[in-house]
């Protein structure tokens, strides 16, 4: 096996970890209360999801550091990222039991999942259009921050539901799940998702307009 395939194997491991997280999240969907089994599922789902998120940094580092960038990796990495984040948000939309008393609204309402999905479809279509015209169209900082924030949002919810703060001896982390903080993070996720989509749209418009003027 070529060493150039190592980042791709890391990406593949992220897909398997995402599936593992979804298996545990699936044990909580449509449940009205969190019993011991659901709490255990949230606990295990948290660690699977955290490991998957960390591999996203690892495969990118290896590819850039050693020049192991491949065509398969360029395609597979963003696809697996979308499966990881969007899949978790869909499961959260089907998991009302994670909501705590005092929450200001659903943790992940279906309309928000639709908005985030629409943004991903839009950016994928835009990237295909720009690259078909012969111009590179890599991810920018807005897109990366958006994914990090989405991942943190999922991890905070799963972590508190699974008792992670107590497990690691840091009970003060329970405050991360305060309703006001969660609501603020939710609107940051939605707002940054929309803003990053608009940034991609404007950037693509400039690139394509410039190519027509050449």
pTM score, whole prediction: 0.88
Q: Which ranges of the chain have pLDDT less than 50?
A: none
Residue 214 confidence (pLDDT) = 53
pLDDT of residue 211: 64
| Eight-class DSSP state of 13 | H
Give the containing element (helix H, strand E) for 161: helix 141-161
Cβ partners under 8 Å of residue 200, min gap 6: 122, 123, 126, 127, 140, 142, 143
Spell out the domain ranges in the chain: 3-213
Contact between 53 and 59 under an 8 Å Cβ cutoff? The reply is no
DSSP state of 5: G
**Which class for 101: exposed (0-12), middle (13-18), buried (19 or more C-beta within 10 A)?**
exposed
pLDDT of residue 41: 93
- For residue 73, the model assigns a pLDDT of 72
Residue 203 has a pLDDT of 87
- Pick from 17, 7, 77, 73: nearest CA to 45: 17
What local confidence, expressed as pLDDT, does residue 112 receive? 93
CATH 1.20.120 fits 3-213, yes or no: yes
Q: What's the confidence (pLDDT) of residue 66?
A: 75
């Amino acid at each position: 096996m070529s060493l150039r395939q190592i980042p791709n194997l890391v990406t593949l491991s992220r897909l398997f970890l995402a599936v593992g997280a979804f298996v545990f999240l699936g044990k909580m969907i449509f449940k009205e209360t969190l019993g011991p089994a659901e709490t255990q599922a949230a606990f295990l789902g948290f660690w699977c999801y955290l490991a998957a998120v960390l591999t996203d940094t690892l495969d990118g580092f290896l590819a850039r550091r050693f020049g192991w960038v491949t065509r398969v990796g360029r395609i597979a990495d963003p696809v697996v990222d979308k499966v990881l984040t969007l899949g978790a948000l869909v499961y959260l939309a089907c998991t009302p039991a994670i909501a705590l008393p005092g929450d200001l609204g659903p943790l992940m309402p279906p309309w928000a999942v639709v908005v985030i999905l629409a943004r991903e479809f839009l950016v994928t279509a835009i990237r295909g259009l720009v690259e078909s015209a012969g111009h590179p169209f890599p991810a920018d900082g807005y897109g990366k921050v958006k994914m990090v924030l989405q991942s943190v949002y999922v991890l905070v919810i799963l972590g508190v539901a699974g008792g992670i703060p107590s497990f690691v001896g840091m009970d003060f982390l329970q405050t991360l799940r305060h309703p006001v903080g969660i609501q603020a993070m939710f609107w940051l996720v939605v707002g940054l998702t929309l803003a990053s989509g608009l940034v991609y749209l404007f950037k693509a418009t400039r690139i394509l307009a410039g190519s027509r003027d050449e």
